[in-house]
Structure 1
Amino acid sequence: MKRVKPLFDFYINSSIHVALAVFSMTYVTMLELHLPADWPLFCFVFFSTITGYNFVKYFGMAKFHHRRLARWLKVVQVFSLVCFLLMLWFMWQLKPKTIVYIAVFGVVTFLYAIPFLPKRYFVDQQKNLRNIGGLKVYVIAMVWAGVTVLLPVLDKNGVFSWDVWLTSIQRFLLVMLLMLPFEIRDLKYDSLKLATIPQKIGIKNTKIMGVLVGMVFLILEFLKDELSQKLMVLTLTVTLITCLFIVFADKKRSDYYSSFWVESVPIVWLVLHLVF
């Protein structure tokens, strides 16, 4: 077990797990909207997620402590560089219009980590989107929805139907829900100026809100033009699992509760799609 734990921690800390979650959501989109599988796109999404997340998480650490980096962080940096190169390789296999769309989200990711706005908008001297009070969860949800729904559609047929937009809204809501256990966990660390949802309305109300948003996520499935009993059952299952994770979230939960189990929901969703 002593040998397995460092590998598992690297799997989590290097963003491989979250990349699998984003990949899974993209694959689910392909299945639900009856789009042909596109492995260059899947691989791009996977490697770009690792690159983007590690850039956001470790930019500050690498900037100010590059001469005294811990060994594990150096390994993550090298791993991220390899993923960045693979991301570029697969990106050039996509359509030009898709690359332009990707560039927009690349800019958002860059601004999410890099200081660029006046000091008065930021928390704890960090002049980036990540630290604007109350904005973090919405930025992440928007990017995930754009990458896992709109990007596959744009790359394949560019037809943004009613069902596509409803799926995008659903994905936005689901990512917001998956972020709530993280925000509850981080209450003991986050500055009050971040104005996260649990900070503004409390843990109990956050859980109530999460269940209500989960109901909206489920109801939207019934508003689609193309109704499927299979998709309804799978959406109900994902809603129940997500809401349970929110209800049982707590400040005292281990980091693995959110970083592994909660982020496993999209992976479970894809597995259920493939099995049933």
Structure 2
Amino acid sequence: MKLLKHLYYFLIYTNLLIAGAAIAQSAVTYLFFDVPFDYPIMMIEGAATLLLYNFSMMLSKPENPQKSVYKRTRWIFKHEWLLWLNSGIGGIVLVYAVSHIHLYSLFFLAGIGMMSVAYSIPMMPYKGKWVGFRQLPGTKIFHIALVWTLSSVCLPVCEMYLDGLAINIHLFQTLFVLKFIFLLICTLPFDIRDIQQDSYYHLKTIPNMIGANRAIILCYVLIIVHSAIVLLSAIQLEVQMGVLATNLLIAVVLKRVVFRNANRYHYAFLLDFALIAQFLVIYLFL
């Protein structure tokens, strides 16, 4: 049990968990379309996500990391060499994978990358100063969900199209909506957890604007809406069952673990595991 706990924290602190989640979410797209996995695209998803999250960590490095109130910050910069090592490996993997995709997919990937960087780097004027998307009131989770949806749905579909595969537009539109809502479900609990921290940094997130209790209710409403769309969609029965089973699992984890232990900072990262679990559950049902 102690070994699993250490592994859990290691995957969180090194951003390997979120990179694995990105790979899993792109793999879900191939399951929806019932086509073989495109491994270069999946490698790009994992490596690019790892690099972006590592880059965000480096940008937010405090003046004295070891005095931070957050255990994660202290651990990361105590083992900063590991951050640079996995970034180097991620960079090599990214370069290799990018050389195996179409040029138009590369252009699309570059656009997603610019949107991702705009999350943290000041690129837009707001109230007389330049800010990133995360500082615009109420846009934080929508920006994250959109970037992940473009990356895990649109990029694979773009590459499929360029490979000459016929794309079912209705299925594509359905998956886009489902993925966007699913990512809101998995992102909102982080903002609920960070409501005090975001207030300190003057970030107006959805929980800050409507309150923690209403934000919790919103999570459950989104799960219901997501499940209803799945049931009404013309997708494979096995895929429907896998998605619904994952939604039920997430609802249980939110109610019994995440929202009951709001003071346990790392419990919210179970939602990153949910991104992987969705792929695994659908894969088992197929």
Structure 1 match to 2:90: 83
Structure 2 match to 1:176: 184
Does residue 73 in structure 1 map to residue 77 in structure 2? no
Structure 2 match to 1:48: 48
Corresponding residue pairs, total:
269
CA distance in structure 2 between the aligned counterparts of 1:160 and 1:194, rounded to whole angstroms: 40
After superposition, the CA RMSD in angstroms is 2.6
Structure 2 match to 1:212: 221
Q: Are the counterparts in 2 of residues 113 and 128 from structure 1 also a CA contact under 8 Å? A: yes
Deviation at 1:130, TM superposition (A): 2.2
User: 1:104-138, CA deviations, whole angstroms, 9 ceiling, x for partnerless residues?
Assistant: 0111122222223336277xxx8322222211101
Change (3 A) 1:155 1:119: same
Structure 1 match to 2:109: 102
Normalized against structure 2, the TM-score is what?
0.84
User: 1:136-161, CA deviations, whole angstroms, 9 ceiling, x for partnerless residues?
Assistant: 10111001111111111110126361
Q: Are the counterparts in 2 of residues 181 and 245 from structure 1 also a CA contact under 8 Å? A: no
Structure 2 match to 1:153: 157
The aligned amino acid for 2:208 is Q
User: 1:161-216, CA deviations, whole angstroms, 9 ceiling, x for partnerless residues?
Assistant: 11111111110111111112111111221126322122122222112211221122
CA distance in structure 1 between the aligned counterparts of 2:128 and 2:23, rounded to whole angstroms: 33
Structure 2 match to 1:131: 135
SS in 1 for 2:131: coil
Structure 2 match to 1:187: 195
Q: Percent identity?
A: 22
Q: Are the counterparts in 2 of residues 183 and 198 from structure 1 also a CA contact under 8 Å? A: yes
Change (3 A) 1:162 1:256: same
Structure 1 match to 2:247: 239
Moved over 4 A (4+): 1-8
The aligned amino acid for 1:257 is Y
Structure 2 match to 1:141: 145
CA distance in structure 2 between the aligned counterparts of 1:51 and 1:20, rounded to whole angstroms: 13
Which of the residues 161, 164, 174 maps onto 1:166?
174
CA distance in structure 2 between the aligned counterparts of 1:4 and 1:232, rounded to whole angstroms: 31
Deviation at 1:100, TM superposition (A): 0.8
SS in 2 for 1:134: coil
CA distance in structure 2 between the aligned counterparts of 1:89 and 1:75, rounded to whole angstroms: 21
CA distance in structure 2 between the aligned counterparts of 1:118 and 1:210, rounded to whole angstroms: 31
Deviation at 1:222, TM superposition (A): 3.2
CA distance in structure 2 between the aligned counterparts of 1:118 and 1:95, rounded to whole angstroms: 35
Does residue 10 in structure 1 map to residue 10 in structure 2? yes
Q: Are the counterparts in 1 of residues 245 and 281 from structure 2 also a CA contact under 8 Å? A: no
CA distance in structure 2 between the aligned counterparts of 1:152 and 1:212, rounded to whole angstroms: 29
Gaps of 5+ in 2: 66-75
Q: Are the counterparts in 2 of residues 121 and 127 from structure 1 also a CA contact under 8 Å? A: no
Deviation at 1:7, TM superposition (A): 5.4
Deviation at 1:8, TM superposition (A): 4.2
SS in 1 for 2:154: helix
Change (3 A) 1:272 1:252: closer
Deviation at 1:83, TM superposition (A): 0.7
Gaps of 5+ in 1: none
Normalized against structure 1, the TM-score is what?
0.87
